[in-house]
Amino acid sequence: MFMADIAGVRVLYTGDYSREEDCHLCAAEILQFSQYFNSEKMAKTIRRLAEKTPEVGETVSGFLVKKAFTYQIMAHDDLHVFSQLSTENISQRITIAYSGAFGVLKHRLKQIFESVESLPDEESEGPAFRVPERLTVKYESEKHISLHWRSDPISDMVSDSVIISILLIPILITSYC
């Protein structure tokens, strides 16, 4: 279906190849209409972030909360005051079956990460080390080790790579033999 303009007459071609006369339509009158929308959005800082006026170009860090078509930027600690939202720190722990030597694991992780620090025995109740200051690996028994970390996106990625490395060590050792 298409519209054809022939000698000032608009004809709607239906494309059905019927013997019926095509329908002639008059041109519709289209009104010109324009509307201006302000696309700028403004966010107000509140409580702790509002105590100090930021300089031009200075970065303001906080939560952006939209409520009833208004935007507010608030500090992490103020979130529970102005909304029903709350934040928590999550400590995660996973125990993994590992019967290899603890030193082999530490050596393998030193090859992957820049900093692997041994922890004193009195702090960790047995052999342990910290991987990039985010994740603690503890020797629990001859058949188990545990990983401890505070959950955030980077620590979760580090823990995922450490878990994969631990699970691959027995496979790599058997493939070299």
* pTM of the entire predicted model: 0.53
pLDDT at 146 over 90: yes
Sign of CA dihedral 45, 50, 52, 53: positive
Q: Give the Cα separation of 130 and 161 in Å (integer).
A: 14
Which residue's structure tokens are 């959005």?
41
Give the confidence band of 176 by pLDDT, cuts at 50, 70, 90.
low
Give the confidence band of 16 by pLDDT, cuts at 50, 70, 90.
low
Q: Give the Cα separation of 14 and 2 in Å (integer).
A: 7
pLDDT at 18 over 70: no
